[in-house]
Amino acid sequence: MKILTEHEAKKVLSKYGIQVTQGSIAKSADEAFRIASGIGFPVAMKISSPDISHKSDVGGVVLDIKKEDVKAAYSDMISRISKAVPGANIEGVLVQQMAPPGHEVIVGLKKDAQFGHALMFGLGGIFVEIYKDVSFRVTPIDKKEALEMISEIKGSPILKGIRGRKPVDVDAVADVLVSVSEMAQKENIVELDINPLIVGENGAVAVDARAMVEK
Amino acid sequence: MLDSIFYPGSIAVIGASNNEIKWGGRILKNILSAYKGKVYPVNPGETNIQGLNSYHSVLDIPGEVEMALVIVPAKFVLSVAEECGKKDVKGLIVISAGFGETGNNELEKELLSIVRRYGMRMIGPNTLGIVNEPASLNASIIGRLPTPGSISFITQSGSLGLALAEWTINTGIGLCKVISTGNKADVDDVDLIEYLNNDPSTGVIAMYVEGIKRGREFIDAVRRVRKPIVAIKTGRSKRGAKAVFSHTGSIAGSDEVYSAAFRQAGILRVEDIDDLFDAALAFSCQPLPSGNNVAILSNGGGASIVAADECERHGINIVDLTPETREKIKKVIPQFASNSNPIDTAGTVSFEIYDNSIQALHDDPNVDAIIVIYVHTMMFSAMPPAEAVVEMKQKCIKSKSRKPIIACWMGGAGTEEGVEILRSGCIPNYPVPERAVKALSCLIKHSEFLDKVKVGAGQEDKMGRCK
């Protein structure tokens, strides 16, 4: 069993055509600045460590960092994490483009002893944590089934546009579901969360991801 | 191949006994009570069992043995199975316990390898046996053969499944087969469902499931089965005890995955034991509706409102009737009664009212299914409206178009004769509107499965359904 860092997990997602927020791992404040300049400001910074999977719980996520704050943000994060999680193996800091506007949804996979893999879809944030408003399928699925999964959840009208808000790109979410279904076996996924996948009027982007794979 | 188990020409009962309190005595007695083929008791300690010659070993039996029931202690099962293989027995039902279910996985593996080596098929071990009504075969500890019917029931649990079968038999619901699967070492759910799909006497499959083996194959196999399958799955997930890695991991308990898998396979998952046989009963004697538009006829407004509420809960549409239909109904019901759906006869009951109203509803092109409710009062007899329903059904069988009719005769004492008319007329009848609606919702859902989930040709058979 191996836990992939966000950066590694996103590489897998990219391989299957899923759009991810761009970024690279910086190992110094100067490198962080170089990467951020390449991406364009503001940026997000996230700690990258195989020992830390819930990054924000330990202060490992900082958003909306302006050009002049990048170097300090890097140093602060390293010292904060060293105190919060002593002995953690820190690979560096993931410097990333900020997520585009849109709705947060979650796409996940879980290996199942009886049926192979279960694929999950739901609205992100509190909807998944509190209301458990999600739908499931056993993989593999096709696009038609992916669209059904999206329609099935109670919160589905939110995605399709209510109260004058424009509908989001449900089709792009369905494509992500099909891609995740496809990678389940090929990548020996034990568990995977794309949380959130941010879906706007045009396209869906994986902003955070975590995965556990079987080696 | 499973025909050797369900329709054997000859049976050896290995571990047969004269003592009817013992399993080997009880099962032999049950077989002898109705089965017409050759039966050979085997027990090295006896010469005569229940009036039959007893044999020392299955190898001593002079004639062919197609199927053998094995009811001996676990430690003797391997040698008995080996002898059955040598005797060219085709099918085994291993009642004996003490295998995988007690952690004795090695013994189960060895048993399976013997079964495979001789090309036999095996139900069990740790099964309570099987019943196959069309073969008059009760190779189980169930008390008696069921009323003939087209429901085949696969049960994984021992005693609960058995109790369900007994209860079903007592309620007079027709059953075709009862199969206690036991540990499913060889014959499992996939084998059984495929077999029952090709079994002309099975019209609907009811399942009591604790766990499925070969999950993905199960989904693929079941998608090819167009006969309705209704299942109750027990064992809610145990999760959330330990910290989990992902949100998905914490939410995707086995129960959620089962629900998804069943829906993908086109299995109707029901919540309660009542629902399982309520749905199976409706499938066993009614055609499938072509849509979800229902008409309700009742002599009591309250009952029809309960039914309409329940319909809404299940996504069933209380359809607007055509003006012609409303006109036809207006002519037969009292002036102050309602001729819009749900039809309320305002307490009045007669054969004519029910007969004409059901006919009008059945002829309405907007209507896909009909729920007929009778609420008993001392003013009327429960029989004439029941006769109207049965007569309508007979007329419909003759005509090409046939829509499902579900009955709900409420009121207990006083309704028995009406209920009996419905039962013998093969109309699914339920004591409360909610159960009638739930059963109908299963018919509608299965219709949808046939369109959207099931693969293969859509030659929708009335096969195995009663007339």
Query: How confident is the model over B235-284, as pLDDT tens digits?
Result: 765 554 445 677 777 777 788 889 999 999 999 999 888 899 999 999 99
Residue B246 within a domain: yes
**C-beta neighbour count of B227 within 10 angstroms:** 22
Domain ends where: B242, B270, B285? Answer: B285
Q: What φ, ψ does residue B421 adopt, rounded to 5°?
A: -60, -45
Nearest-neighbour CA in chain A from B222: distance (Å): 13
Size of interface A-B (CB pairs under 8 A): 83
Give the pLDDT mean for B357-375.
Answer: 96
Interchain contact B222–A (C-beta under 8 A): no
Position with higher pLDDT, B407 vs A113: B407
A103-112 and A43-48 beta bridge pairing: unpaired
- What residues of chain A lie within 8 A of the CB of B246, using their CB? 108, 110, 191-193, 195, 210, 212
Inspect the interface and report whether the beta carbons of B257 and A136 lie closer than 8 Å.
yes
- What residues of chain A lie within 8 A of the CB of B245, using their CB? 3, 53, 191, 210, 212
B91-94 and B67-70 beta bridge pairing: parallel
Same domain, B161 and B240: yes
Give the one of B245, B248, B257 whose C-beta lies nearest to A115's C-beta: B257
Q: Are A206 and A19 in contact (CB under 8 A)?
A: yes
Q: Are A86 and A99 in contact (CB under 8 A)?
A: no
Give chain A's domains with CATH numbers: 22-97 (3.30.1490.20), 103-213 (3.30.470.20)
Same domain, B107 and B1: yes
Residue with tokens 């050009």: A67
Give the pLDDT mean for B183-201.
Answer: 95
CATH number where B347 lies: 3.40.50.261
Same domain, B249 and B317: no
Nearest-neighbour CA in chain B from A61: distance (Å): 18
| Residue A160, both tokens | 């399709």
Closest CA in chain B for residue A134: B251
Q: Report DSSP state, residue B315.
A: T
| Residue B100, both tokens | 């995988």
Q: How far apart are CA A172 and CA A193, in angstroms?
A: 17
Say how many domains are in chain B: 3
Interface test with A, best of B188, B212, B257, B267 (most A CBs within 10 A): B257
Residue B465 within a domain: no
Interchain contact B190–A (C-beta under 8 A): no
Domain extent, residue B212, equals: 146-285
Residue B414 within a domain: yes
Same domain, B272 and B408: no
- What residues of chain A lie within 8 A of the CB of B249, using their CB? 108, 110, 191
Confidence band for B466, pLDDT divided at 50, 70 and 90 = very low
Over residues A27-43, the pLDDT tens digits come to 999 999 999 999 999 99
Q: Mean pLDDT for chain B?
A: 91
- Count how many residues are written for chain A: 215
Same domain, B369 and B242: no
Q: Which range is least confidently modeled, B86-90, B210-214, B422-426?
A: B210-214
Q: How far apart are CA B304 and CA B275, in angstroms?
A: 20
Residue B295 within a domain: yes
Nearest-neighbour CA in chain A from B210: distance (Å): 12
Residue B191 within a domain: yes
Residue B464 within a domain: no
Q: pTM of this prediction? A: 0.89
Q: Which range is least confidently modeled, A32-41, A160-169, A194-203, B166-175?
A: B166-175
Residue B458, pLDDT score = 60
Nearest-neighbour CA in chain B from A33: distance (Å): 31
Give the one of B213, B247, B260 whose C-beta lies nearest to A195's C-beta: B247
Same domain, B376 and B327: yes
Interchain contact B256–A (C-beta under 8 A): yes
Interchain contact B245–A (C-beta under 8 A): yes
Over residues B33-90, the pLDDT tens digits come to 999 999 999 999 999 999 999 999 999 999 999 999 999 999 999 999 999 999 999 9
Q: Three-state DSSP class for B172?
A: coil
Residue B461 within a domain: no
**B70 DSSP β-pair partners:** B14, B94
CATH number where B82 lies: 3.40.50.720
Give the pLDDT mean for A205-214.
Answer: 93
Same domain, B35 and B70: yes
Q: Are B122 and B2 in contact (CB under 8 A)?
A: no
Same domain, B184 and B271: yes
Give the pLDDT mean for B337-348.
Answer: 92
Q: Are B432 and B399 in contact (CB under 8 A)?
A: no
Residue B463, pLDDT score = 40
Closest CA in chain B for residue A107: B248
Nearest-neighbour CA in chain B from A165: distance (Å): 27
Whether pLDDT at B461 is above 50? no
Domain ends where: B93, B127, B161? Answer: B127
Give the one of B211, B245, B252 whose C-beta lies nearest to A118's C-beta: B252
Q: Are B363 and B302 in contact (CB under 8 A)?
A: no
Over residues A107-158, the pLDDT tens digits come to 999 999 889 999 999 998 778 878 889 999 999 999 999 999 999 999 999 9
Q: How far apart are CA A45 and CA A27, in angstroms?
A: 12
Domain ends where: B265, B285, B305? Answer: B285
**C-beta neighbour count of A155 within 10 angstroms:** 15
Q: How far apart are CA B41 and CA B18, in angstroms?
A: 10
Same domain, B74 and B215: no
Query: Half-sphere exposure (CA, 13 Å, Cβ side) for A164?
Result: 0
Over residues B93-117, the pLDDT tens digits come to 999 999 999 999 999 999 999 999 9
Residue B240, pLDDT score = 42
Same domain, B66 and B154: no
Interchain contact B251–A (C-beta under 8 A): yes
Q: Are B276 and B232 in contact (CB under 8 A)?
A: yes
Same domain, B293 and B425: yes
Residue B458 within a domain: no
What percentage of residues in chain B have a pLDDT greater than 90?
A: 76
Confidence band for A57, pLDDT divided at 50, 70 and 90 = confident
Give the one of B244, B248, B259 whose C-beta lies nearest to A120's C-beta: B248
Q: How far apart are CA A202 and CA A186, in angstroms?
A: 28
Same domain, B47 and B180: no
Query: Half-sphere exposure (CA, 13 Å, Cβ side) for B218?
Result: 21
Fill in the amino acid letter for B46.
Answer: E
Q: How far apart are CA A209 and CA A18, in angstroms?
A: 12
Q: Three-state DSSP class for B304?
A: helix
